[in-house]
């Protein structure tokens, strides 16, 4: 019998394939995913946008994996996440998301982790599959978030 860690590792691998899938014309990946390590609390990946010039933009993602199959009429994926973890995610500097992975179908679904979530989530909606259309929307959302901020450090105690 596989352990929770084995299932989680497989889900993280499926996520990395999904987030880096080529999109558009010509087909190119929109994201670069960096695993934050086994011991990083709450977040699994920092995901950087590809294709920006003279600046960078990124988001943080927690991946939750289930072996419970999604039935044809299902509207949710049974991956649980505690509100305390969502609150911790909201405190990070940048957009944060939760991706639920259905291990059996190798499909992934994304939702925003934001302050509107005020309770534990036993499941997430499957309204937003991690497909080419939603990857493009995610890229735009994260890009617009960072474009509206001037993150340049002009005065540092370490300046020369």
- How deeply is 9 buried, as exposed, middle or buried, from its count of CB atoms within 10 A (0-12, 13-18, 19+)? middle
- Per the structure, how many domains does the chain have? 1
For residue 154, being part of any structural domain is answered with: no
The CATH number for 19's domain is 3.40.1350
For residue 70, being part of any structural domain is answered with: yes
Q: Count of CB atoms within 10 A of residue 87's CB? A: 14
For residue 151, being part of any structural domain is answered with: no
Domain containing 40 equals: 4-146
- Where are the alpha helices (H) located in 91-129, listed in sequence order? none
pLDDT digit string, tens, across residues 9-37: 999 999 999 999 999 888 999 999 999 98
Cα-Cα-Cα-Cα dihedral sign, residues 14, 20, 23, 25: negative
For residue 160, being part of any structural domain is answered with: no
pLDDT digit string, tens, across residues 31-47: 999 999 876 778 999 99
For residue 80, being part of any structural domain is answered with: yes
Least-confidence region, from 7-11, 82-86, 115-119? 115-119
Whole-prediction pTM value? 0.91
For residue 53, being part of any structural domain is answered with: yes
For residue 56, being part of any structural domain is answered with: yes
**Where are any strands of DSSP class E within the chain?**
31-35, 45-49, 58-66, 76-77, 96-102, 107-112, 124-125
For residue 156, being part of any structural domain is answered with: no
């Amino acid at each position: 019998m596989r352990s929770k860690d084995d299932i989680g590792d497989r889900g993280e691998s499926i996520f990395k394939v999904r987030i880096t899938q080529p999109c558009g014309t010509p087909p190119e990946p929109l994201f670069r995913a960096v695993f934050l390590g086994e011991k990083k609390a709450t977040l699994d990946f920092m995901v950087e946008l590809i294709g920006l010039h003279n600046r960078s933009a990124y988001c943080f993602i927690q991946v939750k994996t289930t072996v419970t199959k999604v039935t044809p009429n299902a509207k949710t994926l049974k991956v649980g996440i505690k509100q305390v973890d969502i609150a911790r995610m909201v405190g990070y500097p940048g957009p944060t998301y939760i991706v639920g992975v259905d291990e059996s179908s190798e499909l992934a679904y994304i939702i925003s982790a934001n302050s509107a979530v005020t309770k534990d989530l036993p499941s997430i909606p499957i309204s937003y599959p991690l497909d080419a259309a939603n990857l493009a929307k995610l890229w735009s959302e994260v890009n617009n978030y960072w474009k509206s901020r001037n993150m340049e450090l002009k005065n540092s105690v370490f300046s020369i």
